[in-house]
Structure 1
């Protein structure tokens, strides 16, 4: 063997540890996805978005969820890194939806509810990809789902697969979009929480997440806080009832 060949470093057969940035709203789905990421990646960071949402209370409880996740699992605490916060309140200026203005939650002529914020998830992932690129993270994790949802087109699997290609091309670097809840029901999401973190994580979801569109934390139900009437509360309640009945 020549001296040149002998000087080459050995080839590692072990993949480099992957890292992830989780889009964390403070709701049940995104917090479950954070637990999912913490069980798989060596380094996990989080990002939240202020887009002028009426249920702004989710931005407050997300800090409680992060704190309780660290307490729940010391190994998760070691992997959980910096939390980021992006101001995207301009979305309310172009969206004109029931999520960002005092409007009734109802169905529109186009078949979509007034809670649909056009391109919200596309913009969230795009902003997150720029942040991830700068932070050296190569996986984005979101709680989008096309099983139990309101028909939002930017929650669909095909939409996000197309976005993954566009982001990777635009950054000239691989950027993977993971959506672990994509084909799960809300009952399945409760089950995933239990599988990942046992009763402690289920209790965390009940007490320290917020999913109600109206931002109501005055009423505590078996499944958590919420008005109990909006589409988000209805889906969460049905999912809880179906899960406990299994």
Structure 2
């Protein structure tokens, strides 16, 4: 995967006082954070804490209700086409066409992305699906579908990876492949934001971990210490006691 070298003076992502409401429910409430080039940030929190919503806003899948967000200087609302050109988003769901073969799914993605069909065979080889290229997706296991979703991401040359629980349904080899891809993007000056259920799968990949609770940033700090027992006694954010008193998200 050949990657474009980003401008290292421009933040990979900046999120400023971002809010998002679904009906009467606030999924995000004034989130502010940034991701630097070459940085890998994990995002943790209970279900409903706003993790996936944050990634969807950065991918331009949805618009924020308020606040601003930029990806390598491009505004997600005013410049969505530019943002989509540098972002690769791996969601919870495969988003594949069951009646198409693995190869046909990737060729369709090539058309949508403006990518040459010649990229399909090496990408299938890399994710271990070369022999299954002609098989329909409906015959694939959950792990194989996850590999094909990762293959679709590899068709792009992303500068920012947005990965929503990317280790789900992956065996150890698949987990290692995900981490290898993240390292490649980081090594080229790109960045990644990873929603995590199990931090251990990421190994030493993470630079920071952001913890959300009820749509608010509860903690944001170096990966080795955020969330451990000592850190929990050192938190000084006055919002924490209010959020904990309010119950789980």
Which TM-score band (shorter chain)? under 0.3
TM-score by length of 2: 0.26
Q: Higher helix share goes to which structure? A: 1
Whose relative contact order is higher, 1 or 2, with alpha carbons under 8 Å and at least 6 apart? 2
Provide the TM-score with structure 1 as the length reference. Answer: 0.26
